[in-house]
């Protein structure tokens, strides 16, 4: 009986896999990796082809664009889109991962004014060269940097070209600073927070991050993950946007 049920479930999976195509906008909760979200939805809806168009760190929330079925064929169009983020960085400390999930590596006294913070942010506008953080999924010689970092290794990384269109300071309540950022693909917001802390001379790390826009898609269009997981299949399929929306 158990074997028969397994065969039946496998057959249903085969029939359903690949039958759904489109773009799914998810409002990613904190503590979930982008891979976790993909894996959960793949299992829940028996979708064979599913991927994301730009990762979010576990501590980050907000818009995660998923591509389903034939939608995976246009992943490059999503990953190449500009992004907008809202977040908070914390002054006075540095961490090994450049965000609050890392280990504190240094503590400094904060002696900077609001005007100095705003002026410093303006210096990052335009074309920039960023060095990817060790705790990142970027691969060097086939290995993700974060795996090397967990082994206590730090290797030289080549700087990557990115562009900052807007980096505005929204609120300062020391040691925290709220910001809004518009940037090109490949921008590490954690690195931006770290680099800004270095220029200010007091250190900084990314405390909070929310992606609010990718290309023309906004977080207001996105579905909470728990809502998607509780839907019936017909409702779920109606949540998908047509692939042509990105083209």
Locus of tokens 């409002």: 27
pLDDT digits (tens, 9 = 90+) for 60-83: 999 999 999 988 888 888 888 999
Q: Do domains 2-80+216-245 and 83-214 have the same CATH topology?
A: no
**CATH architecture entry for 2-80+216-245:** 2-Layer Sandwich (3.30)
Active site residue 57: yes
pLDDT at 5 > cutoff 70: no
Q: Which of 36, 57, 101, 166 is catalytic?
A: 57
pLDDT band at residue 18, thresholds of 50, 70 and 90? Answer: very low
Domain spans of the chain? 2-80+216-245, 83-214
Q: State mean pLDDT over 197-208.
A: 97
- Residue 120 C-beta-side C-alpha neighbours within 13 Å: 21
Q: What topology does CATH give the domain 83-214?
A: Pseudouridine synthase (3.30.2350)
pTM of the entire structure?
Answer: 0.87
């Amino acid at each position: 009986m158990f074997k028969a049920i397994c065969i039946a479930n496998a057959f249903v999976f085969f029939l359903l896999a690949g039958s759904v195509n489109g773009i799914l906008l998810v409002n990613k909760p904190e503590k979930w990796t982008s891979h976790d979200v993909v894996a959960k939805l793949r299992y829940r809806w028996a979708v064979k082809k599913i991927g994301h168009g730009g990762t979010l760190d576990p501590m980050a929330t907000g818009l995660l664009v998923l591509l389903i079925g034939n939608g995976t064929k246009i992943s490059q169009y999503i990953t190449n889109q500009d992004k907008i983020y809202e977040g908070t960085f914390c002054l006075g400390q540095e961490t090994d991962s450049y965000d609050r999930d890392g280990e504190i590596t240094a503590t400094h006294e904060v002696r900077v004014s609001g005007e100095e913070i705003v002026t410093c942010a303006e210096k990052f506008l335009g074309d920039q060269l960023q060095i990817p953080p060790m705790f990142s999924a970027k691969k060097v010689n086939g290995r993700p940097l974060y795996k090397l970092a967990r082994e206590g290794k730090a290797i030289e990384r080549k700087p990557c070209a990115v562009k900052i269109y807007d980096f505005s300071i929204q609120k300062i309540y020391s040691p925290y600073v709220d910001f809004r950022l518009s940037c090109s693909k490949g921008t590490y917001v954690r690195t931006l927070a770290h680099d800004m802390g270095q220029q200010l001379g007091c250190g900084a790390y990314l405390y909070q991050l929310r992606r609010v826009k990718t290309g023309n898609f906004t977080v207001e269009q996105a579905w909470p993950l728990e809502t998607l997981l509780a839907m019936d299949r017909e409702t779920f399929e109606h949540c998908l946007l047509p692939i042509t929306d990105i083209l």
